[in-house]
Amino acid sequence: MIACPNVRKDVIRHHYDVSTVFYRLLWGRHIHHGYWEGEESPALAQDQLTDRLARAAGIAHGSRVIDIGCGMGGSSRRLAKRLGCEVTGVTISPVQKRWAGVAAWRDGLGSRVDFRCEDAECVEFAPESCDVLWSVECTEHLFEKPEFFRRAAEWVRPGGCVAICAWLAGPDLDSEKEQQVYDVCEGFFCPSLGTSLDYQRWLADAGLEVVVADDWTRRVERTWEICRDRVRRFGMHRVASVFDRGQTIFLDRFETILNAYHTGAMEYGCFVAKKTA
């Protein structure tokens, strides 16, 4: 695991309050990678990532889902629309909570989705209150990852699962690749990035059976080629300097994360872990 001790939780919250508009302009309604199978559009690739994870997890129609790190509610709303899930989304950002709520209202999903503005490391749910604990690209921002998985496992009913997509540190890194990962952590406000084996160990230590641990790096890395090109085309550095100069570091690291994927310093992982008892 690669750690970046300078990251603070209040900075993460501020980042998402300010950067939500950048994500929406640069990327779309989901704040996560796209999954490419061919030459499809970024919007379709984003939906495909949600659908791929849902299939890997075997989410049944009408499942009760807790979406940790729901962002603008893109995945929560898709699970509700396509699978009839009842979803509670959790985001640290009040801006994102409002955005997600308005989008759900516009989609006519008010009875099936609910959004809460809370810290994922402090939020409470009743034991065995969900069928699926879902989290796409949020656990990177958690400071105590093993403790989060232990708590999250308690929320899942027996027979349910935890479904995760996460940015990962690659295995067996030399000093140059470690620096690449550190630069990504610093630019994207991640206190640490675990490896695939770290995630599998944390899930197993929480009493879960890991049934999927897949590497999706080659399928998702195009995300950052598109984002990098859009930053240049639309002059987003100038816009960021007006809103918040701290966001310019975030934009500068788009090239860094793409290079980290190319060199193997980083990977992108999909994990599904079942609760058997």
* DSSP assignment string, 9-26: HHHHHHHHHHHHHHHHHH
CA distance 112 to 87: 6
* DSSP assignment string, 42-76: HHHHHHHHHHHHHHHHTPPTT-EEEEET-TTSHHH
- The whole-number pLDDT of residue 245 equals 52
The torsion angle over the Cα atoms of residues 8, 146, 52 and 183, rounded to 10 degrees, is 40
- C-alpha Rg value of the chain to the nearest Å: 17
- The whole-number pLDDT of residue 226 equals 85
Average pLDDT for runs of 10 along the chain of length 277: 89 77 65 89 93 97 97 94 97 92 91 95 97 97 96 97 97 94 91 97 98 97 84 57 53 82 96 94
The CA angle 200-204-208, to the nearest 5 degrees, is 115
Say what the pTM is: 0.91
CA distance 67 to 134: 5
Helix boundaries (H) for 114-158:
145-155
Q: Which domain holds residue 7?
A: 2-274
* Residue 225: strand, helix, or coil: helix
DSSP 246: T
As for how many domains the chain has, the answer is: 1
CA distance 117 to 119: 7
The sign of the dihedral angle between the CA atoms of 142, 144, 145, 149 is negative
Residue closest to 138 by CA, chosen among 166, 116, 111: 166
- The whole-number pLDDT of residue 32 equals 84
> Residues 174-178: contacts with CB within 8 Å, 24+ apart?
177/260, 177/263, 177/264, 177/265, 178/2, 178/265
* Residue 271: strand, helix, or coil: strand
CA distance 260 to 242: 29
Helix boundaries (H) for the chain:
9-26, 42-57, 74-83, 94-106, 145-155, 175-188, 196-205, 217-220, 222-234, 236-243, 247-252, 254-263
Q: Do strands 209-215 and 266-274 pair parallel, antiparallel, or not at all (unpaired)? A: antiparallel
Q: What is the CATH number of the domain that holds 24?
A: 3.40.50.150
* CA distances (Å), origin 68, targets 162, 261, 262: 11, 24, 28
